[in-house]
Amino acid sequence: MNEAALPPDDRGLAYGDGVFETVLVRDGRPVLWEEHLARLARGCTQLGFSPPCRDELDVLPGKAPQGLSVLKLIVTRGSGGRGYLAPADPAPRLLVQHLPFAPAETRWREGVRVRLCALQLGIQPLLAGLKHLNRLENVLARKEWSDAAVAEGLLCDSDGHLIEATCMNLFWLRNGRLETPKLDRCGVAGTLRQALLAEHSISEVEAGPSRLQEVEALWLGNSLQGLWPVTRLDDSEGRALITWAIGERHRRLQNDAQRLLGYPLLP
Amino acid sequence: MNEAALPPDDRGLAYGDGVFETVLVRDGRPVLWEEHLARLARGCTQLGFSPPCRDELDVLPGKAPQGLSVLKLIVTRGSGGRGYLAPADPAPRLLVQHLPFAPAETRWREGVRVRLCALQLGIQPLLAGLKHLNRLENVLARKEWSDAAVAEGLLCDSDGHLIEATCMNLFWLRNGRLETPKLDRCGVAGTLRQALLAEHSISEVEAGPSRLQEVEALWLGNSLQGLWPVTRLDDSEGRALITWAIGERHRRLQNDAQRLLGYPLLP
Protein backbone atom coordinates (compact mmCIF):
# COMPACT_ATOMS: atom_id res chain seq x y z
CA MET A 1 0.00 0.00 0.00
CA ASN A 2 1.24 3.44 -1.00
CA GLU A 3 2.32 5.50 2.04
CA ALA A 4 3.21 8.68 0.13
CA ALA A 5 1.77 12.19 -0.01
CA LEU A 6 -1.76 12.77 -1.18
CA PRO A 7 -2.35 13.58 -4.86
CA PRO A 8 -5.20 16.02 -5.57
CA ASP A 9 -7.39 13.32 -7.12
CA ASP A 10 -7.40 11.08 -4.05
CA ARG A 11 -10.93 9.90 -3.30
CA GLY A 12 -10.38 10.42 0.42
CA LEU A 13 -10.26 14.15 -0.21
CA ALA A 14 -12.78 14.20 -3.06
CA TYR A 15 -15.52 12.22 -1.34
CA GLY A 16 -14.31 11.26 2.15
CA ASP A 17 -13.96 7.82 0.58
CA GLY A 18 -12.00 6.13 3.35
CA VAL A 19 -11.65 5.43 7.06
CA PHE A 20 -9.35 6.47 9.89
CA GLU A 21 -8.15 5.43 13.34
CA THR A 22 -6.58 7.40 16.16
CA VAL A 23 -4.58 4.97 18.28
CA LEU A 24 -3.13 5.67 21.72
CA VAL A 25 0.54 4.67 21.71
CA ARG A 26 2.64 4.36 24.87
CA ASP A 27 6.38 3.95 24.45
CA GLY A 28 5.94 2.47 21.01
CA ARG A 29 3.21 0.03 22.05
CA PRO A 30 -0.32 0.56 20.68
CA VAL A 31 -3.29 0.37 23.03
CA LEU A 32 -6.43 -1.58 21.99
CA TRP A 33 -4.56 -2.38 18.79
CA GLU A 34 -6.68 -5.42 17.92
CA GLU A 35 -9.86 -3.38 18.28
CA HIS A 36 -8.47 -0.61 16.06
CA LEU A 37 -7.30 -3.06 13.40
CA ALA A 38 -10.64 -4.86 13.46
CA ARG A 39 -12.61 -1.64 12.98
CA LEU A 40 -10.26 -0.44 10.24
CA ALA A 41 -10.65 -3.74 8.39
CA ARG A 42 -14.43 -3.70 8.86
CA GLY A 43 -14.61 -0.17 7.47
CA CYS A 44 -12.49 -0.90 4.39
CA THR A 45 -14.47 -4.06 3.71
CA GLN A 46 -17.80 -2.29 4.09
CA LEU A 47 -16.66 0.43 1.67
CA GLY A 48 -15.45 -2.26 -0.72
CA PHE A 49 -11.64 -2.16 -0.76
CA SER A 50 -8.87 -4.15 0.91
CA PRO A 51 -7.50 -2.99 4.27
CA PRO A 52 -3.74 -2.48 4.57
CA CYS A 53 -1.95 -5.71 5.35
CA ARG A 54 -1.32 -6.35 9.01
CA ASP A 55 2.48 -6.48 8.72
CA GLU A 56 2.53 -3.00 7.27
CA LEU A 57 0.44 -1.66 10.16
CA ASP A 58 2.15 -3.57 12.97
CA VAL A 59 5.46 -1.73 12.52
CA LEU A 60 3.93 1.75 12.76
CA PRO A 61 3.45 2.14 16.53
CA GLY A 62 7.14 1.32 17.03
CA LYS A 63 8.02 4.49 15.14
CA ALA A 64 6.18 6.71 17.66
CA PRO A 65 8.14 8.94 20.06
CA GLN A 66 8.68 7.76 23.66
CA GLY A 67 5.85 8.37 26.11
CA LEU A 68 2.27 8.95 25.03
CA SER A 69 1.29 9.84 21.50
CA VAL A 70 -1.48 9.28 19.00
CA LEU A 71 -0.94 7.30 15.84
CA LYS A 72 -3.41 8.55 13.26
CA LEU A 73 -4.04 6.25 10.30
CA ILE A 74 -6.06 7.30 7.28
CA VAL A 75 -6.83 4.72 4.61
CA THR A 76 -8.45 6.02 1.43
CA ARG A 77 -9.67 4.13 -1.63
CA GLY A 78 -6.87 5.91 -3.53
CA SER A 79 -7.34 7.56 -6.91
CA GLY A 80 -9.29 6.54 -9.97
CA GLY A 81 -12.79 5.55 -10.91
CA ARG A 82 -15.14 7.91 -12.72
CA GLY A 83 -16.82 10.40 -10.42
CA TYR A 84 -18.54 8.52 -7.63
CA LEU A 85 -18.00 5.21 -9.45
CA ALA A 86 -15.19 3.49 -7.56
CA PRO A 87 -12.30 1.98 -9.52
CA ALA A 88 -12.76 -1.74 -10.19
CA ASP A 89 -9.26 -2.44 -8.89
CA PRO A 90 -8.56 0.21 -6.24
CA ALA A 91 -5.07 0.95 -4.94
CA PRO A 92 -5.82 2.22 -1.42
CA ARG A 93 -3.57 4.81 0.17
CA LEU A 94 -2.34 4.77 3.78
CA LEU A 95 -1.45 8.05 5.47
CA VAL A 96 0.32 7.96 8.82
CA GLN A 97 0.70 10.73 11.38
CA HIS A 98 2.28 10.66 14.84
CA LEU A 99 0.72 13.35 17.04
CA PRO A 100 1.58 14.49 20.57
CA PHE A 101 -1.03 13.58 23.17
CA ALA A 102 -1.84 13.93 26.87
CA PRO A 103 -5.21 12.93 28.36
CA ALA A 104 -7.34 15.49 30.23
CA GLU A 105 -6.63 13.96 33.65
CA THR A 106 -8.62 16.54 35.61
CA ARG A 107 -11.75 15.35 33.86
CA TRP A 108 -11.22 11.80 35.14
CA ARG A 109 -11.40 13.12 38.70
CA GLU A 110 -13.77 16.09 38.52
CA GLY A 111 -16.03 14.98 35.70
CA VAL A 112 -17.41 17.16 32.94
CA ARG A 113 -20.31 19.33 31.96
CA VAL A 114 -21.90 18.43 28.64
CA ARG A 115 -24.81 19.65 26.57
CA LEU A 116 -27.35 18.32 24.14
CA CYS A 117 -26.65 19.29 20.55
CA ALA A 118 -29.43 20.59 18.31
CA LEU A 119 -28.02 18.78 15.26
CA GLN A 120 -29.57 15.37 14.67
CA LEU A 121 -27.45 12.70 13.00
CA GLY A 122 -28.73 11.35 9.69
CA ILE A 123 -29.57 7.66 9.66
CA GLN A 124 -27.36 5.53 7.43
CA PRO A 125 -27.13 1.85 8.45
CA LEU A 126 -24.54 1.15 5.71
CA LEU A 127 -22.05 3.45 7.44
CA ALA A 128 -23.13 3.03 11.06
CA GLY A 129 -20.37 2.13 13.49
CA LEU A 130 -17.57 2.91 11.04
CA LYS A 131 -14.94 5.58 11.59
CA HIS A 132 -15.19 6.83 8.02
CA LEU A 133 -13.99 10.18 6.67
CA ASN A 134 -17.46 11.76 6.30
CA ARG A 135 -17.48 13.69 9.54
CA LEU A 136 -19.17 16.99 8.72
CA GLU A 137 -21.97 16.23 11.16
CA ASN A 138 -19.44 15.93 13.97
CA VAL A 139 -17.72 19.15 12.89
CA LEU A 140 -21.02 21.06 12.76
CA ALA A 141 -22.18 19.63 16.09
CA ARG A 142 -18.89 20.69 17.71
CA LYS A 143 -19.47 24.21 16.42
CA GLU A 144 -22.66 24.52 18.45
CA TRP A 145 -20.82 25.74 21.55
CA SER A 146 -17.63 27.61 22.36
CA ASP A 147 -17.88 27.72 26.18
CA ALA A 148 -14.70 25.94 27.32
CA ALA A 149 -16.56 24.79 30.44
CA VAL A 150 -18.62 22.46 28.25
CA ALA A 151 -16.57 19.37 27.43
CA GLU A 152 -18.78 17.58 24.96
CA GLY A 153 -22.10 17.61 23.13
CA LEU A 154 -24.56 14.71 23.03
CA LEU A 155 -26.09 13.79 19.70
CA CYS A 156 -29.40 12.18 18.85
CA ASP A 157 -30.31 10.76 15.45
CA SER A 158 -33.15 12.13 13.35
CA ASP A 159 -35.53 9.75 15.14
CA GLY A 160 -34.57 11.31 18.50
CA HIS A 161 -32.50 8.40 19.80
CA LEU A 162 -29.35 9.18 21.78
CA ILE A 163 -26.33 8.00 19.79
CA GLU A 164 -23.00 9.42 20.96
CA ALA A 165 -21.07 12.57 21.81
CA THR A 166 -19.20 14.43 19.06
CA CYS A 167 -16.06 12.29 19.57
CA MET A 168 -17.00 9.90 22.37
CA ASN A 169 -19.41 7.10 23.15
CA LEU A 170 -22.01 7.22 25.92
CA PHE A 171 -22.52 4.84 28.81
CA TRP A 172 -24.93 5.07 31.69
CA LEU A 173 -26.09 3.18 34.76
CA ARG A 174 -29.84 2.73 35.10
CA ASN A 175 -31.42 0.69 37.86
CA GLY A 176 -27.97 -0.69 38.55
CA ARG A 177 -27.45 -1.87 34.97
CA LEU A 178 -25.07 -0.53 32.34
CA GLU A 179 -26.47 0.68 29.02
CA THR A 180 -25.02 2.25 25.88
CA PRO A 181 -26.76 3.43 22.70
CA LYS A 182 -27.22 0.94 19.89
CA LEU A 183 -25.10 2.02 16.90
CA ASP A 184 -26.68 0.09 14.05
CA ARG A 185 -28.13 3.14 12.25
CA CYS A 186 -25.51 5.85 12.84
CA GLY A 187 -22.63 6.81 15.12
CA VAL A 188 -19.08 5.55 15.55
CA ALA A 189 -18.51 2.33 17.49
CA GLY A 190 -15.49 3.27 19.58
CA THR A 191 -12.74 0.82 20.41
CA LEU A 192 -12.95 1.53 24.15
CA ARG A 193 -16.71 0.84 23.87
CA GLN A 194 -15.89 -2.40 22.06
CA ALA A 195 -13.47 -3.47 24.78
CA LEU A 196 -15.90 -2.58 27.59
CA LEU A 197 -18.73 -4.47 25.86
CA ALA A 198 -16.48 -7.53 25.69
CA GLU A 199 -15.80 -7.40 29.46
CA HIS A 200 -19.11 -6.23 30.90
CA SER A 201 -22.76 -6.92 30.63
CA ILE A 202 -23.75 -3.67 28.88
CA SER A 203 -27.07 -3.50 27.05
CA GLU A 204 -27.17 -1.74 23.69
CA VAL A 205 -30.40 0.23 23.79
CA GLU A 206 -32.58 2.69 21.88
CA ALA A 207 -33.46 5.63 24.12
CA GLY A 208 -34.13 9.34 23.84
CA PRO A 209 -32.50 11.99 26.02
CA SER A 210 -35.33 11.72 28.56
CA ARG A 211 -33.80 8.37 29.53
CA LEU A 212 -30.97 10.34 31.15
CA GLN A 213 -33.42 11.64 33.81
CA GLU A 214 -33.48 8.07 35.10
CA VAL A 215 -29.78 7.28 35.24
CA GLU A 216 -27.60 7.03 38.35
CA ALA A 217 -24.40 7.75 36.42
CA LEU A 218 -23.44 8.92 32.94
CA TRP A 219 -20.03 8.66 31.29
CA LEU A 220 -18.48 9.67 28.00
CA GLY A 221 -15.44 7.89 26.73
CA ASN A 222 -13.04 7.00 23.98
CA SER A 223 -9.78 5.12 23.59
CA LEU A 224 -7.63 8.23 24.01
CA GLN A 225 -9.26 9.89 27.02
CA GLY A 226 -10.75 6.99 28.94
CA LEU A 227 -14.08 7.68 30.67
CA TRP A 228 -15.27 11.08 31.89
CA PRO A 229 -18.07 11.07 34.47
CA VAL A 230 -20.74 13.64 33.61
CA THR A 231 -21.67 15.98 36.47
CA ARG A 232 -24.03 18.27 34.56
CA LEU A 233 -26.10 18.03 31.42
CA ASP A 234 -27.32 21.24 29.73
CA ASP A 235 -29.90 21.58 26.99
CA SER A 236 -28.91 22.93 23.58
CA GLU A 237 -29.36 26.50 24.85
CA GLY A 238 -26.98 25.92 27.76
CA ARG A 239 -29.59 25.67 30.53
CA ALA A 240 -28.91 23.02 33.19
CA LEU A 241 -31.12 19.93 32.83
CA ILE A 242 -29.63 17.33 35.18
CA THR A 243 -26.74 17.15 37.64
CA TRP A 244 -24.97 14.13 39.13
CA ALA A 245 -22.54 13.84 42.04
CA ILE A 246 -19.48 11.71 41.30
CA GLY A 247 -19.47 8.61 43.48
CA GLU A 248 -18.00 5.16 43.89
CA ARG A 249 -20.40 3.91 41.18
CA HIS A 250 -18.59 6.11 38.68
CA ARG A 251 -15.13 4.92 39.60
CA ARG A 252 -15.67 1.23 38.95
CA LEU A 253 -16.32 1.52 35.20
CA GLN A 254 -13.81 4.35 34.92
CA ASN A 255 -11.11 2.16 36.43
CA ASP A 256 -11.91 -0.63 34.02
CA ALA A 257 -11.29 1.87 31.24
CA GLN A 258 -8.11 3.10 32.96
CA ARG A 259 -6.85 -0.49 33.08
CA LEU A 260 -7.70 -1.11 29.43
CA LEU A 261 -5.81 2.04 28.42
CA GLY A 262 -2.91 1.69 30.85
CA TYR A 263 -3.81 4.82 32.83
CA PRO A 264 -3.47 5.07 36.66
CA LEU A 265 -6.43 3.87 38.73
CA LEU A 266 -8.65 6.46 40.41
CA PRO A 267 -9.16 6.30 44.17
CA MET B 1 -6.33 31.71 -0.16
CA ASN B 2 -3.63 29.07 -0.36
CA GLU B 3 -3.68 27.20 -3.69
CA ALA B 4 -0.86 24.75 -2.90
CA ALA B 5 -0.66 20.97 -2.38
CA LEU B 6 -2.58 19.32 0.42
CA PRO B 7 -0.81 18.76 3.76
CA PRO B 8 -1.79 15.56 5.60
CA ASP B 9 -3.62 17.46 8.35
CA ASP B 10 -6.02 19.21 6.00
CA ARG B 11 -9.56 19.00 7.35
CA GLY B 12 -10.93 18.32 3.88
CA LEU B 13 -9.19 14.97 3.94
CA ALA B 14 -9.61 14.32 7.67
CA TYR B 15 -13.35 15.03 7.87
CA GLY B 16 -14.58 15.96 4.41
CA ASP B 17 -14.68 19.48 5.87
CA GLY B 18 -15.22 21.44 2.69
CA VAL B 19 -17.15 21.80 -0.54
CA PHE B 20 -16.52 21.37 -4.25
CA GLU B 21 -17.77 22.40 -7.67
CA THR B 22 -17.34 20.84 -11.10
CA VAL B 23 -17.77 23.56 -13.69
CA LEU B 24 -18.21 23.08 -17.43
CA VAL B 25 -15.71 25.30 -19.26
CA ARG B 26 -15.87 26.00 -22.98
CA ASP B 27 -12.89 27.74 -24.57
CA GLY B 28 -11.95 29.31 -21.28
CA ARG B 29 -15.47 30.51 -20.47
CA PRO B 30 -17.27 28.92 -17.50
CA VAL B 31 -20.88 27.81 -17.89
CA LEU B 32 -23.45 28.62 -15.16
CA TRP B 33 -20.59 30.36 -13.36
CA GLU B 34 -22.85 32.54 -11.20
CA GLU B 35 -24.78 29.47 -10.03
CA HIS B 36 -21.55 27.64 -9.18
CA LEU B 37 -20.10 30.61 -7.31
CA ALA B 38 -23.36 31.08 -5.40
CA ARG B 39 -23.51 27.44 -4.28
CA LEU B 40 -19.81 27.45 -3.35
CA ALA B 41 -20.30 30.56 -1.25
CA ARG B 42 -23.46 29.16 0.34
CA GLY B 43 -21.62 25.94 1.25
CA CYS B 44 -18.61 27.69 2.81
CA THR B 45 -20.89 30.02 4.75
CA GLN B 46 -23.06 27.16 6.00
CA LEU B 47 -19.94 25.29 7.16
CA GLY B 48 -18.67 28.46 8.81
CA PHE B 49 -15.69 29.71 6.82
CA SER B 50 -15.11 32.34 4.16
CA PRO B 51 -15.42 31.41 0.50
CA PRO B 52 -12.49 32.23 -1.80
CA CYS B 53 -12.67 35.79 -3.07
CA ARG B 54 -14.33 36.22 -6.40
CA ASP B 55 -11.29 37.71 -8.14
CA GLU B 56 -9.26 34.64 -7.31
CA LEU B 57 -11.93 32.36 -8.80
CA ASP B 58 -12.76 34.45 -11.86
CA VAL B 59 -9.31 33.95 -13.41
CA LEU B 60 -9.40 30.14 -13.19
CA PRO B 61 -11.63 29.22 -16.15
CA GLY B 62 -9.33 31.22 -18.43
CA LYS B 63 -6.53 28.77 -17.61
CA ALA B 64 -8.50 25.81 -19.02
CA PRO B 65 -7.46 24.19 -22.30
CA GLN B 66 -9.36 25.10 -25.51
CA GLY B 67 -12.62 23.26 -26.16
CA LEU B 68 -14.64 21.58 -23.41
CA SER B 69 -13.21 20.75 -20.01
CA VAL B 70 -14.24 20.58 -16.37
CA LEU B 71 -12.84 22.93 -13.79
CA LYS B 72 -12.96 21.17 -10.43
CA LEU B 73 -12.69 23.40 -7.37
CA ILE B 74 -12.28 22.02 -3.87
CA VAL B 75 -12.38 24.43 -0.94
CA THR B 76 -11.51 22.98 2.47
CA ARG B 77 -11.51 24.63 5.86
CA GLY B 78 -7.73 24.15 5.83
CA SER B 79 -5.71 22.81 8.76
CA GLY B 80 -5.97 23.40 12.46
CA GLY B 81 -8.53 23.17 15.19
CA ARG B 82 -8.57 20.36 17.72
CA GLY B 83 -10.20 17.20 16.40
CA TYR B 84 -13.66 18.06 15.14
CA LEU B 85 -13.43 21.52 16.74
CA ALA B 86 -12.88 23.90 13.85
CA PRO B 87 -10.13 26.53 14.13
CA ALA B 88 -11.43 29.91 15.31
CA ASP B 89 -9.65 31.65 12.46
CA PRO B 90 -9.59 29.16 9.58
CA ALA B 91 -7.31 29.56 6.57
CA PRO B 92 -9.31 27.75 3.86
CA ARG B 93 -7.50 25.98 1.06
CA LEU B 94 -8.45 26.05 -2.62
CA LEU B 95 -7.51 23.14 -4.87
CA VAL B 96 -7.93 23.49 -8.60
CA GLN B 97 -8.01 20.79 -11.26
CA HIS B 98 -8.65 21.06 -15.01
CA LEU B 99 -10.08 17.78 -16.31
CA PRO B 100 -10.87 16.65 -19.86
CA PHE B 101 -14.59 16.30 -20.57
CA ALA B 102 -17.04 15.32 -23.30
CA PRO B 103 -20.78 14.91 -22.69
CA ALA B 104 -22.52 11.58 -23.38
CA GLU B 105 -24.31 12.89 -26.51
CA THR B 106 -25.97 9.59 -27.38
CA ARG B 107 -27.91 9.79 -24.12
CA TRP B 108 -29.41 13.14 -25.12
CA ARG B 109 -30.95 11.49 -28.17
CA GLU B 110 -31.65 7.90 -27.07
CA GLY B 111 -32.31 8.44 -23.39
CA VAL B 112 -31.14 6.21 -20.55
CA ARG B 113 -32.12 3.26 -18.45
CA VAL B 114 -31.90 3.91 -14.69
CA ARG B 115 -32.64 1.94 -11.54
CA LEU B 116 -33.80 2.56 -8.02
CA CYS B 117 -31.02 2.27 -5.46
CA ALA B 118 -31.53 0.31 -2.25
CA LEU B 119 -29.46 2.81 -0.23
CA GLN B 120 -31.55 5.51 1.43
CA LEU B 121 -29.97 8.91 2.01
CA GLY B 122 -29.69 10.04 5.61
CA ILE B 123 -31.62 13.18 6.46
CA GLN B 124 -29.48 16.19 7.41
CA PRO B 125 -31.12 19.58 6.81
CA LEU B 126 -27.93 21.41 7.83
CA LEU B 127 -26.09 19.98 4.83
CA ALA B 128 -28.99 19.61 2.39
CA GLY B 129 -28.45 21.15 -1.03
CA LEU B 130 -24.71 21.68 -0.53
CA LYS B 131 -22.04 20.06 -2.65
CA HIS B 132 -19.89 19.17 0.37
CA LEU B 133 -17.09 16.63 0.52
CA ASN B 134 -19.02 13.97 2.50
CA ARG B 135 -20.09 11.84 -0.44
CA LEU B 136 -19.80 8.26 0.80
CA GLU B 137 -23.52 7.72 0.31
CA ASN B 138 -23.15 8.60 -3.37
CA VAL B 139 -20.12 6.31 -3.70
CA LEU B 140 -21.94 3.40 -2.05
CA ALA B 141 -25.08 3.98 -4.10
CA ARG B 142 -23.01 3.97 -7.31
CA LYS B 143 -21.55 0.61 -6.27
CA GLU B 144 -25.00 -0.99 -6.35
CA TRP B 145 -24.78 -1.80 -10.08
CA SER B 146 -22.07 -2.50 -12.62
CA ASP B 147 -24.23 -3.07 -15.71
CA ALA B 148 -23.01 -0.43 -18.18
CA ALA B 149 -26.50 -0.33 -19.71
CA VAL B 150 -27.75 1.34 -16.52
CA ALA B 151 -26.80 5.01 -16.60
CA GLU B 152 -27.84 6.17 -13.15
CA GLY B 153 -29.45 5.17 -9.85
CA LEU B 154 -32.32 7.02 -8.18
CA LEU B 155 -32.07 7.68 -4.47
CA CYS B 156 -34.74 8.10 -1.83
CA ASP B 157 -34.15 9.45 1.64
CA SER B 158 -34.76 7.39 4.77
CA ASP B 159 -38.38 8.60 4.76
CA GLY B 160 -38.86 7.12 1.28
CA HIS B 161 -38.97 10.42 -0.63
CA LEU B 162 -37.30 10.60 -4.02
CA ILE B 163 -34.32 12.98 -3.83
CA GLU B 164 -31.87 12.69 -6.72
CA ALA B 165 -29.72 10.35 -8.77
CA THR B 166 -26.17 9.58 -7.62
CA CYS B 167 -24.75 12.60 -9.47
CA MET B 168 -27.81 14.19 -11.09
CA ASN B 169 -31.05 15.88 -10.20
CA LEU B 170 -34.49 14.58 -11.18
CA PHE B 171 -37.23 16.33 -13.10
CA TRP B 172 -40.55 14.96 -14.29
CA LEU B 173 -43.71 16.00 -16.07
CA ARG B 174 -46.96 15.07 -14.35
CA ASN B 175 -50.34 16.13 -15.63
CA GLY B 176 -48.51 18.54 -17.86
CA ARG B 177 -46.64 20.20 -15.00
CA LEU B 178 -42.94 20.06 -14.17
CA GLU B 179 -41.86 18.79 -10.75
CA THR B 180 -38.53 18.15 -9.05
CA PRO B 181 -37.80 16.77 -5.56
CA LYS B 182 -37.53 19.21 -2.69
CA LEU B 183 -33.95 19.27 -1.40
CA ASP B 184 -34.35 20.79 2.04
CA ARG B 185 -33.44 17.65 3.98
CA CYS B 186 -30.77 15.98 1.83
CA GLY B 187 -29.41 15.86 -1.71
CA VAL B 188 -27.33 18.24 -3.81
CA ALA B 189 -29.06 21.22 -5.40
CA GLY B 190 -27.48 21.19 -8.86
CA THR B 191 -26.65 24.35 -10.74
CA LEU B 192 -28.55 23.23 -13.86
CA ARG B 193 -31.55 22.58 -11.59
CA GLN B 194 -31.08 26.05 -10.15
CA ALA B 195 -31.02 27.63 -13.60
CA LEU B 196 -34.07 25.66 -14.78
CA LEU B 197 -36.01 26.61 -11.63
CA ALA B 198 -35.26 30.26 -12.37
CA GLU B 199 -36.65 29.98 -15.91
CA HIS B 200 -39.58 27.60 -15.52
CA SER B 201 -42.50 26.99 -13.28
CA ILE B 202 -41.21 23.80 -11.63
CA SER B 203 -42.77 22.67 -8.34
CA GLU B 204 -40.44 21.35 -5.65
CA VAL B 205 -42.31 18.37 -4.23
CA GLU B 206 -42.13 15.51 -1.72
CA ALA B 207 -42.94 12.24 -3.44
CA GLY B 208 -42.04 8.57 -3.26
CA PRO B 209 -40.99 6.43 -6.24
CA SER B 210 -44.62 5.43 -6.86
CA ARG B 211 -45.13 8.99 -8.14
CA LEU B 212 -43.09 7.98 -11.19
CA GLN B 213 -45.93 5.65 -12.29
CA GLU B 214 -47.92 8.82 -12.97
CA VAL B 215 -45.40 10.83 -14.94
CA GLU B 216 -45.45 11.51 -18.69
CA ALA B 217 -41.70 12.16 -18.84
CA LEU B 218 -38.72 11.77 -16.53
CA TRP B 219 -35.29 13.39 -16.92
CA LEU B 220 -31.99 13.31 -15.05
CA GLY B 221 -29.60 16.17 -15.40
CA ASN B 222 -26.61 18.12 -14.25
CA SER B 223 -24.55 21.07 -15.43
CA LEU B 224 -22.02 18.88 -17.25
CA GLN B 225 -24.27 16.44 -19.10
CA GLY B 226 -27.46 18.42 -19.63
CA LEU B 227 -30.71 16.44 -19.40
CA TRP B 228 -31.09 12.73 -20.17
CA PRO B 229 -34.62 11.49 -20.86
CA VAL B 230 -35.32 8.25 -19.00
CA THR B 231 -36.71 5.45 -21.18
CA ARG B 232 -36.75 2.69 -18.57
CA LEU B 233 -36.77 2.51 -14.80
CA ASP B 234 -35.70 -0.73 -13.07
CA ASP B 235 -36.14 -1.68 -9.43
CA SER B 236 -33.09 -2.22 -7.23
CA GLU B 237 -32.83 -5.83 -8.44
CA GLY B 238 -32.73 -4.74 -12.07
CA ARG B 239 -36.32 -5.71 -13.02
CA ALA B 240 -38.13 -3.29 -15.34
CA LEU B 241 -40.73 -1.16 -13.56
CA ILE B 242 -41.75 1.53 -16.03
CA THR B 243 -40.86 2.47 -19.60
CA TRP B 244 -41.33 5.74 -21.47
CA ALA B 245 -41.09 6.56 -25.16
CA ILE B 246 -39.10 9.70 -25.95
CA GLY B 247 -41.30 12.35 -27.47
CA GLU B 248 -41.60 16.04 -28.22
CA ARG B 249 -42.47 16.65 -24.55
CA HIS B 250 -38.96 15.49 -23.61
CA ARG B 251 -37.19 17.70 -26.10
CA ARG B 252 -38.56 21.01 -24.88
CA LEU B 253 -36.98 20.90 -21.42
CA GLN B 254 -33.89 19.19 -22.79
CA ASN B 255 -33.38 22.01 -25.25
CA ASP B 256 -33.72 24.58 -22.50
CA ALA B 257 -30.87 22.76 -20.76
CA GLN B 258 -28.90 22.56 -24.02
CA ARG B 259 -29.25 26.32 -24.40
CA LEU B 260 -28.20 26.98 -20.81
CA LEU B 261 -25.09 24.82 -21.27
CA GLY B 262 -24.27 25.91 -24.83
CA TYR B 263 -24.90 22.48 -26.35
CA PRO B 264 -26.57 21.99 -29.77
CA LEU B 265 -30.36 21.85 -29.84
CA LEU B 266 -32.06 18.48 -30.37
CA PRO B 267 -34.50 18.08 -33.26
Which of B21, B35, B152, B164 is flagged as catalytic? Answer: B164
Whether A16 sits inside 8 A of B15 (CB atoms) is yes
Contact residues, A window 57-86, toward B, CB-based 8 Å cutoff: 74, 76, 83-86
Query: Is A74 within the bounds of a domain?
Result: yes
pLDDT tens digits, residue range B119-162? 999 999 999 999 999 999 999 999 999 999 999 999 999 999 99
Among the partner residues B84, B134, B135, nearest to A166 by beta-carbon distance: B84
In three-state secondary structure terms, B5 is coil
**Which pLDDT band, with edges at 50, 70 and 90, does B4 fall under?**
low
For residue B267, is it within any domain?
Answer: no
pTM > 0.80: yes or no: yes
Do B90 and B187 fall into the same domain? no
Would you call A15 and B133 a contact, using CB atoms and an 8 Å cutoff? yes
Q: Which chain A residues touch B2 with a CB distance below 8 Å?
A: none
- The answer to the question of residue A267 being in a domain is no
Q: What residue in A sits closest to B128 (Cα-Cα)?
A: A122
Q: What is the pLDDT of residue A194?
A: 98
Taking the C-alpha atoms of residue A189 and residue A177, their distance in angstroms, rounded to an integer, is 20
The reply to whether B178 and B70 lie within a common domain is no
pLDDT at B5 over 80: no
In a domain, A242, yes or no: yes
* Burial class for B264, CB neighbours closer than 10 Å (0-12, 13-18, 19+): exposed
Domain boundary among A40, A74, A100: A100
- Is residue A1, in this structure, part of any structural domain at all? no
Tell me the shortest Cα–Cα distance from A87 to chain B, in angstroms: 10
Query: What phi, psi does B62 have (nearest 5°)?
Result: -65, -15
Residue type present at position A244: W
Among A74, A83, A122, the residue with its CB nearest the CB of B123 is: A122
The DSSP secondary structure of A40-106, one letter per residue, reads HHHHHHHHTSPPPPHHHHHTSGGGSPSSEEEEEEEEE--S-SBTTBPPSS---EEEEEEEE----HH
- So what's the pLDDT on residue B8? 85
Total domains in chain B come to 2
Same domain, B52 and B37: yes
Closest CA to A109 of A225, A228, A224, A226: A228
**Same domain, residue pair A37 and A148:** no
User: Among B9, B13, B117, B167, which would you mutate to test the A interface (most chain A Cβ atoms within 10 Å of its Cβ)?
Assistant: B13
Residues B109, B199: one domain?
Answer: yes
Question: Which residues of chain A from 185 to 204 reach within 8 Å of chain B, CB to CB?
Answer: 186
Do A82 and A208 belong to one domain?
no
Average pLDDT rounded to a whole number, residues B223-252: 97
Q: Is residue A5 part of a domain?
A: no
Kindly report the CATH number assigned to the domain that includes residue B238: 3.20.10.10
Q: Do A138 and B15 touch (CB under 8 A)?
A: yes
Catalytic residue list contains B22:
yes
Say if residue B263's pLDDT is above 80.
yes
Contact B135 A84 (CB under 8 A): yes
Pair A112, A240 in one domain: yes
- Looking up residue B47, the CATH number of its domain turns out to be 3.30.470.10
Among A2, A44, A75, A124, pick the best mutation site for testing chain B contact (most B Cβ within 10 A): A124
Distance of CA B36 to the CA centre of its chain: 11
Q: Is the pLDDT of residue B3 over 70?
A: no
Say yes or no to pLDDT of B180 above 80: yes
Contact criterion met (CB < 8 Å) for A139 and B84: yes
Question: Could you give the CA distance from residue B26 to residue A147 in angstroms, rounded to a whole number?
Answer: 49
Partner-chain residue, chosen from A124, A132, A139, that has the shortest CB–CB distance to B122: A124
Let me know whether A86 and A172 are in one domain. Answer: no
**What does B52-87 look like in DSSP terms, one character per residue?**
PPHHHHHTSGGGSPSSEEEEEEEEE--S-SBTTBPP
From A53, A69, A100, the end of a domain falls on: A100
A5-21: per-residue pLDDT in tens?
A: 688 899 999 999 999 99
Q: How far is CA A34 from CA A41, A96, A220, in A?
A: 10, 18, 22
User: Among residues 203-262 of chain B, which lie with CB inside 8 Å of chain A?
Assistant: none
Same domain, B89 and B156: no
Residues B197 and B96 in one domain: no
Contact A123 B122 (CB under 8 A): yes
Q: Helix, strand, coil: what percent of chain A each, to 5?
A: 25, 35, 40
Cα–Cα distance for residue pair A85/A90, rounded to 1 Å: 11
- Strand B112-121 versus strand B226-234 pairing type: parallel
pLDDT of residue A8: 85
Residues of chain A with pLDDT under 50: 2
Per residue in B188-222, pLDDT (tens digit) is: 999 999 999 999 999 999 999 999 999 999 999 99
Closest to A84 (Cβ–Cβ): which among B5, B17, B167? B167
Length of chain A: 267
The verdict on B248 and B131 lying in the same domain is yes
Q: Is B106 a catalytic residue?
A: no
CA torsion sign for B9, B15, B17, B18 is: positive
DSSP tag of B122: P
- Candidates A9, A48, A83; nearest CB to B167: A83
CA triple A58-A64-A65, angle to 5 deg: 155
Contact of B64 with B31, CB cutoff 8 Å: no
For residues B186 and B163, give the distance between their C-alpha atoms in angstroms, rounded to a whole number: 7
Q: Which domain holds residue B239?
A: 105-261
**B170 occurs within a structural domain:** yes
Neighboring chain A residues of B85 at a CB cutoff of 8 Å = 142-143
| Residues A41 and A142 occupy one common structural domain | no
Cβ-based neighbours of A245, under 8 Å, separated by 6 or more? A231
- Final residue before a domain boundary, out of B100, B117, B145: B100
Distance from CA of B136 to the nearest CA of A (A): 6
Instruction: Given the residues B22, B166, B180, B191, select the one marked as catalytic.
Output: B22
In chain B, residues with a C-beta closer than 8 Å to the C-beta of A84 are 135, 138-139, 141-142, 166-167
Q: Which residues of A touch B138 (CB under 8 A)?
A: 15, 84
Rounded to 5°, angle at Cα B139 from B149 and A182 = 130
- Residues 6+ away with beta carbon under 8 Å from A125: A184, A185
